[in-house]
Copies of this chain bind each other. A is one copy, B any other.
Amino acid sequence: MAIVVAEKTMSLDGFVADPSDGVEDLFGWYSNGNVEIPTPGSGPTFRTSEASARHLRKTLVDAGAVVAGRRLFDLTDGWGGSHPIDVPVFVVTHHVPHEWVAAHPDAPFTFVTAGVADAVARARKAAGDRTVGIGGADIVRQCLNAGLVDEIVVNLVPVLLGAGIRFFDHLAHTPIELEATRVIEGRRVTHLYFRVVGPG
């Protein structure tokens, strides 16, 4: 059964983007090394340290489906119709963007209007024994509140942003107990893996 993984690159003070959705101060580790990691789909080729490459390869290989929020979908214009890591995408939305669907007939995108739990269930099915990645701070929050997250991965960047969009915000049923399972020290990033144990 597919496990659900929430992975984000986060500043030490908890932000995954600056107030303008900018990630310039966070995403440097994707390109500060010599190891080339091509993304399976339309994404860029990453150039990371050897340590981060170990982390990234696993993430890319393991991924079997993605659940994304409508905000992220709109921000990226649906990644032009093909997700960077080339897996089926389940977009949680109130309204299906019929024009976009018509313009991208081959895009492996499913628009789910019945809520995040339904989107995760469908993504699990599509992912088989691979993982379901969830994207967007709001989707992560909804999934955490619904007890749908199995693993959290934080790519911790040594910077204090001071303001922006938080990875973890407006959580219900706290404290949520985690278990630290793995640490990988990259260059200007520390990859921290956690299993979600559940509300305490």
Binding site for B on A (CB under 8 A): 11-14, 25, 144, 152, 154, 156, 158-163, 166-168, 171-172, 174-180, 183, 185, 188, 190, 192, 194, 200
- Taking CB as reference atom, which chain B residue is nearest A156? B192
Q: Are B178 and A185 in contact (CB under 8 A)?
A: no
* Distance A166 CA – B144 CA, assembled complex (angstroms): 20
Determine which of B12, B177, B179 lies in contact with A178 in the assembled complex, contact meaning CB atoms within 8 Å. B12
Q: Are B12 and A152 in contact (CB under 8 A)?
A: yes
* Distance A183 CA – B180 CA, assembled complex (angstroms): 13
Given A158-B179, A180-B185, A190-B183, do A174 and B163 touch, yes or no (CB 8 Å)? yes
Determine which of B174, B179, B183, B194 lies in contact with A161 in the assembled complex, contact meaning CB atoms within 8 Å. B174
* Distance A159 CA – B14 CA, assembled complex (angstroms): 14
Given A12-B168, A171-B13, A190-B192, do A162 and B183 touch, yes or no (CB 8 Å)? no
**A153 nearest CB across to chain B (Å):** 11
* Distance A156 CA – B25 CA, assembled complex (angstroms): 22
Q: Are A159 and B175 in contact (CB under 8 A)?
A: yes
**A181 nearest CB across to chain B (Å):** 9
Q: Are B158 and A175 in contact (CB under 8 A)?
A: no
Q: Are A159 and B185 in contact (CB under 8 A)?
A: no
Q: Are B152 and A174 in contact (CB under 8 A)?
A: no
Q: Are B152 and A178 in contact (CB under 8 A)?
A: no
* Distance A192 CA – B12 CA, assembled complex (angstroms): 10
* Distance A158 CA – B152 CA, assembled complex (angstroms): 10
B residues near A200, Cβ cutoff 8 Å: 25, 159
- Taking CB as reference atom, which chain B residue is nearest A160? B176
